[in-house]
Structure 1
Amino acid sequence: MTIRPAKMEDHDIVPEMMLQAMEDIVFAFIGKEDVEEAIQFLTHFFRRENNQYSYQNTFVAVDENDDIWGSITCYDGGKLEALRTPVLEYMRSRYGVDVTPENETQAGELYLDTLAVAPSAQGKGIGSALLQHIIAFAKAQHFSQLGLLVDFENPNAQKLYERVGFKAKETLTFMGGEYYHMVYNLR
């Protein structure tokens, strides 16, 4: 397995994985529970630059045939507003959804927005490998911490993050859900 930066051409696989990681949130963004529309929404942004779901902010785990097994999307928390603006504008213009989500990150934090592993590859260490890659990336970029939100109702994900070294810092409400804000201190 190799981890590489995502390419725009990965748009046929990665958005579906992203949806796996953030299903209810995307449904709130598009105003309906429609899997196909949610994938189209994420694909729209994955293929474009300068937004929080862009291929520019994504790494993928691939096998020797370059088949994608997992993805991780993260960005500088200090750039949240700029990266989120095109998403909110699109939500308003295309879906009539006018919301301003709570800030889930802040400056100084590399924010891990989505982590997903293909169902056929789960339990093989892909998620842990992607997390280790992002920890090294965050250190090299001189971030003080790596942060993420994990749903109260997803204890398996929380255990994975804890095994890697993340600690629950606080609880947050985001788009109507309850989450732990977990951090990995890099200093």
Structure 2
Amino acid sequence: MQYKIRAAKREDYDVVPELMLQAMEDIVFSFIQKQDIEEAINFLTILFKKPNNLYSYENTFVAVDEDDNVVGSVTGYNGDDFYKLREPVLELMKKQYNNDMTPEPETEGSEFYLDTVAVSPIVQGKGVGSHLLKFAVDFAKEKGFKQVGLIVDLENPGAMKLYTRLGFKQGKALDFVGGEYYHMYVD
């Protein structure tokens, strides 16, 4: 089956936040300060529907099947805009969850940063993730970025293997929201 990639629409909010949750589960639970899947989806949905934030539909591409059903997503942005795009996330954490936490930066800037990459369980192992990543790297290159980066959990060797196969190199280790990650990048 062939999957098409398109820019996300605001209306994709009924699927994409669940995919994002799959990519960030423990991180989102830290943001909302509870292990509540429905509340985590609500948090991501609020942000996905709004412009100008890390998790906005504006920064997201989706893989769709022939019936336009969303089966995967990748969210990325200019790493130099990280702090500006993070502000609405921090504001929502404070206002709705009384959480003053300021997570460590995931990117040092000077790259197109891939924040979340997720594939629906029904199509995992069918190349959708690779297709999304290749698309995102090509998009970044077209926009003039010299590097595309992401972080990968040290406890997720499968993802690390995929990124390495697609040309990503292992960068430095970093702590993020209580977990240990590697920054990986492709030039």
Q: TM-score range by the shorter chain?
A: over 0.9
3-state SS in 2 of match to 1:106? coil
The TM-score normalised by the length of structure 2 is 0.98
Distance 2:180 2:170 in 1: 13
The one-letter code matched in structure 1 to 2:63 is A
**Structure 2: 5+ residue runs without aligned partners?**
none
- Equivalent in the alignment of 1:150: 152
- Equivalent in the alignment of 2:46: 44
Question: 1:91-113 CA deviation, whole Å, 9 max, x = no partner?
Answer: 01110111111111122210000
Please state how far the C-alpha of 1:62 moved relative to its aligned partner: 0.4
Please state how far the C-alpha of 1:119 moved relative to its aligned partner: 0.2
Please state how far the C-alpha of 1:66 moved relative to its aligned partner: 0.1
Distance 1:79 1:173 in 2: 21
Describe how 1:1-187 pairs up with structure 2 within 5 A.
Answer: 1-185=3-187
Distance 1:29 1:144 in 2: 31
Distance 1:106 1:179 in 2: 14
Distance 1:100 1:53 in 2: 16
Distance 1:131 1:17 in 2: 15
Distance 1:90 1:120 in 2: 32
Please state how far the C-alpha of 1:41 moved relative to its aligned partner: 0.2
Question: 1:67-89 CA deviation, whole Å, 9 max, x = no partner?
Answer: 11100000110000110001101
Please state how far the C-alpha of 1:144 moved relative to its aligned partner: 1.4
Moved over 4 A (4+): none
3-state SS in 1 of match to 2:130? helix
The one-letter code matched in structure 2 to 1:179 is Y
Count of residue pairs the alignment pairs up? 185
The TM-score normalised by the length of structure 1 is 0.98
The one-letter code matched in structure 1 to 2:19 is M
Sequence identity (%): 59
The one-letter code matched in structure 1 to 2:84 is A
